[in-house]
Structure 1
């Protein structure tokens, strides 16, 4: 559980508030991961229809059961990204408990979103490389994630 999630749980317990619906295990981490993908999609200043579609497809496959649920999560994540605007803070919310495999898959998803419109813009490329570094993935792992094989260097 991330530091923020632990602090929320502590405050809820200390003040007898109970857990809000969003504080369910993994909800913050899931929202932060989707916000990172939205951040990448917006990196070049244009949210192309292909990027929107790819994002919805990835979120539906990994974080949501239906397209409607995926779109609702993306809308919440987009608002969250607009408020946060700090990729490092979003990575921190994912938590240290996330394993290397999960982080590598997230990075591969980021590359997929960046290239959905047929061109990885230099801003997108720089952002995804930075994301890989923040996730603790080495250069070889970042290259493998870009090639669509994020687990090639995972022990």
Structure 2
């Protein structure tokens, strides 16, 4: 699956900059890159995680199929070049209110629970991201429990 996403990125052209509807400062690109990082942190980007990521991005950002695929492909590339979480969380902090940042953490949990296997890497990643997003420990745990029980927003 990861190879298919890389192929999609390289198929955009001959290495030149592909015209995109998502600018580098678009908070949606930062959000999607953080979700891609979440899906890949355990070393495997499972098909079920990719499907959940695609559904979340499409629904949350109200995108059509082509725009969803483009955003995910760009996010994979941005995530690949990233060195830390701060570049993503800083953009989200500047753009989203507290409810939006909490929704971001909830979406991260939804990616993690997509394969029904929460690793210590995934748990630690969400702890660090939630902290950088200003989401309290209590709210992070409540969001986890909501997602685990199947009561999360679609």
| Change beyond 3 A, Cα 1:117–1:22 | closer
TM-score with structure 2 setting the length: 0.76
The equivalent residue for 1:84 is 82
Per-residue deviation, 1:67: 2.6
Structure 1 unaligned residues grouped into runs of 5+: 1-19, 150-155
* Alpha-carbon displacement from aligned partner over 1:31-66 (angstroms, at most 9, x marks no partner): 001100000000000001110000000001012422
Asked if 2 retains the 8 angstrom alpha-carbon contact of 1:28 and 1:94, the reply is: no
Structure 2 unaligned residues grouped into runs of 5+: 1-19, 148-154
**Greater gyration radius:** 1
* Pair 1:119 & 2:110 matched: no
* RMSD between aligned residues: 1.9
Aligned residues: 128
| Segment drifting more, 76-85 vs 93-102 | 93-102
The equivalent residue for 1:9 is none
Residues in 2 aligned to 1:23 and 1:79: alpha-carbon distance in whole angstroms:
13
Which of residues 76, 101, 104 in structure 2 aligns to 1:103? 101
TM-score with structure 1 setting the length: 0.76
Asked if 1 retains the 8 angstrom alpha-carbon contact of 2:93 and 2:133, the reply is: no
The equivalent residue for 2:57 is 59
Asked if 2 retains the 8 angstrom alpha-carbon contact of 1:29 and 1:95, the reply is: no
The equivalent residue for 1:152 is none
Structure 2 residue matching 1:86: 3-state secondary structure: coil
Per-residue deviation, 1:23: 4.4
The equivalent residue for 1:137 is 135
Asked if 2 retains the 8 angstrom alpha-carbon contact of 1:34 and 1:77, the reply is: yes
Structure 1 residue matching 2:94: 3-state secondary structure: coil
